[in-house]
Amino acid sequence: MANVAVISFPGSNCDRDIITAVKHITGTDPAQYWHKETSMDKHDLVILPGGFSFGDYLRCGAIAARSPIMDEMMEHVWRGGYVLGICNGFQILTEAGILPGTLMRNKQLQFVCRDVMLTIHQTESNAILAQCKEQMQLQIPVAHNEGNYFADPDTLKKMADKGQIAVTYTNTGAENYNPNGAINDIAGVTSENGRVLGLMPHPERKAEDIHGGQDGRLLLTSVIEAAS
């Protein structure tokens, strides 16, 4: 099983949830790091949890992306390490320039917190999704105010060509199937090397039967297995 680490920032509030979910999958506690730390052991998978790091001041994830621990994160990425950024973690990865694009305010100007249907794509071109089935459908909740993914047309084209548009909101026919107005229904993207995944939905909130389903656990298990 993969050796997993979770980084917490001031204002992270889903770190305990993801630590619990990882422990239930791997059987061991993931390593934990605080944003001020300047050294990090080698890990297979580093997870940036959801929350409101630094109160979302300036822009969501902007200040966290310039934290001391992020130098170690960049080292991990350059080494070809696996990274999963969830919600605020996704915002931090875009602010750090590790993932393309950005996450803007929800189109409807409202915080959205509910289940959405997701489709997983590009499982062959992304190592982090290698254990997922292509076109897999998952029901996982979102909870965010800035999840409206945006990138300029040239960037989107490059991402599509390289198979980086990995998770989309499934068009179920419902008017609000896309919960935030994200361009091309993008819910999650990967890095060019296919080892970094950022996604707005919270798999750790759908990881036990008591949560009303285990689709999130399925996704987390796949990511952890891929990183192993």
Catalytic residue list: 87, 202, 204
Q: Which of 78, 80, 109, 173 binds another protein (CB under 8 A)?
A: 109
Picking from 105, 4, 119, the residue whose alpha carbon sits closest to that of residue 59 is 105
Q: Which is nearer to another protein, 1 or 62 (CB)?
A: 62
Q: Is 95 in the site for another protein (CB under 8 A)?
A: yes
Q: Is 59 in the site for another protein (CB under 8 A)?
A: yes
Q: Is 89 in the site for another protein (CB under 8 A)?
A: no
What string of H, E and C letters represents the secondary structure of the chain?
CCCEEEEECCCECCHHHHHHHHHHHHCCCCEEEECCCCCCCCCCEEEECCECHHHHCCCCCCCHHHCCHHHHHHHHHHCCCEEEEECHHHHHHHHCCCCCCEEECCCCCCCEEEEEEEEECCCCCCHHHCCCCCCCEEEEEEEECCCEEECCHHHHHHHHHCCCEEEEECCCCCCCCCCCCCHHHEEEEECCCCCEEEECCCHHHCCEHHHCECHHHHHHHHHHHHHC
Q: Is 74 in the site for another protein (CB under 8 A)?
A: no
Q: With contacts defined by CB under 8 A, how many residues of the chain interact with another protein? A: 18
Only segment of 33-41, 42-50, 95-103, 204-212 that touches another protein (CB under 8 A): 95-103
In the complex, least distance from residue 197 CB atom to another protein, rounded to whole angstroms: 19
In the complex, least distance from residue 97 CB atom to another protein, rounded to whole angstroms: 10
**CA 46 to chain CA mean position, Å:** 11
Q: Which of 30, 49, 101, 198 binds another protein (CB under 8 A)?
A: 101
Q: How far apart are CA 227 and CA 193, in angstroms?
A: 13
Q: Which is nearer to another protein, 59 or 162 (CB)?
A: 59
Q: Which of 3, 13, 102, 125 binds another protein (CB under 8 A)?
A: 102
Q: Which is nearer to another protein, 106 or 170 (CB)?
A: 106
User: Would you give the end-to-end CA distance of the chain in angstroms?
Assistant: 5
Residue 120 bridge partners (DSSP): 167
Q: Is 200 in the site for another protein (CB under 8 A)?
A: no
Q: Is 71 in the site for another protein (CB under 8 A)?
A: no
Q: Which of 16, 66, 158, 162 binds another protein (CB under 8 A)?
A: 66
Q: Which is nearer to another protein, 105 or 162 (CB)?
A: 105
List contacts with another protein (CB under 8 A). Answer: 58-59, 62, 66, 94-95, 101-102, 104-109, 150-152, 181
